[in-house]
């Protein structure tokens, strides 16, 4: 099933962990609609601007969330978020472009190391009603994940 011109349902539900563990990672009709909206509003515009988009995590069933140590309340479980990169594009540049150009709910530049363009990845969610427009940088400090608001440009993170 095609969600947009360049994204398929299979691409947004594929999980090596689900395959290895025999976990059902099939969304219901409402979740499929959410994935379609995520693709139309975030992933397809990114693809149109930057070229190839590599989705590393899209929809996650509650059972898959538990298996990977994520929350069953994650936006991935609601089919509202995806983790992705654009090969050859600095992840901070990609995050800054999304921040400037697209109507997102939450945008997180995850585990990016300033000066290392291929480090980390983008987590971005989309919802129709009351998006938070939250732009964050996730990083490790003392073994814990911390979140810092991005003020200005991610390219300027220190």
Tens of pLDDT, residue by residue over 61-105, are 999 999 999 999 999 999 999 999 999 999 999 999 999 999 999
Confidence of residue 158 (pLDDT cuts 50, 70, 90): low
Q: How far apart are CA 81 and CA 89, in angstroms?
A: 20
For 58-69, the pLDDT digits (tens) are: 999 999 999 999
Q: How far apart are CA 22 and CA 24, in angstroms?
A: 7
Torsion angle of C-alpha atoms 69, 99, 144, 58, degrees rounded to 10: 10
Residue 54 confidence (pLDDT) above 90: yes
For 108-138, the pLDDT digits (tens) are: 999 999 889 889 999 999 999 999 999 999 9
Class of domain 2-156: alpha beta
Q: What is the pTM of this model?
A: 0.93
Domain boundaries, the chain: 2-156
Q: Which long-range contacts (CB under 8 A, 24 or more apart) does 67-73 make?
A: 67/17, 67/18, 67/21, 67/23, 68/17
């Amino acid at each position: 099933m095609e969600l947009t011109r360049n994204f398929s349902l299979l691409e947004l539900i594929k999980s090596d962990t689900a395959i290895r563990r025999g976990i059902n990672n099939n969304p219901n009709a409402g979740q499929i609609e959410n994935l379609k909206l995520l693709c139309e509003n975030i992933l397809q515009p990114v693809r149109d601007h930057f070229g190839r988009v590599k989705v590393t995590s899209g929809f996650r069933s509650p059972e898959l969330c538990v298996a990977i140590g994520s929350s069953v309340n994650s936006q991935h479980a609601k089919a509202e978020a995806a983790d992705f990169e654009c090969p050859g594009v600095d992840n901070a540049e990609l995050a800054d472009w999304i921040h400037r150009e697209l109507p997102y709910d939450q945008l997180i530049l995850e585990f990016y190391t300033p000066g290392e363009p291929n480090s980390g990845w983008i987590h971005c969610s989309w919802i129709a009603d009351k998006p938070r427009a939250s732009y964050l940088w996730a990083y490790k400090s003392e073994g814990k994940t911390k979140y810092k608001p991005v003020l200005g440009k991610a390219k300027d993170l220190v």
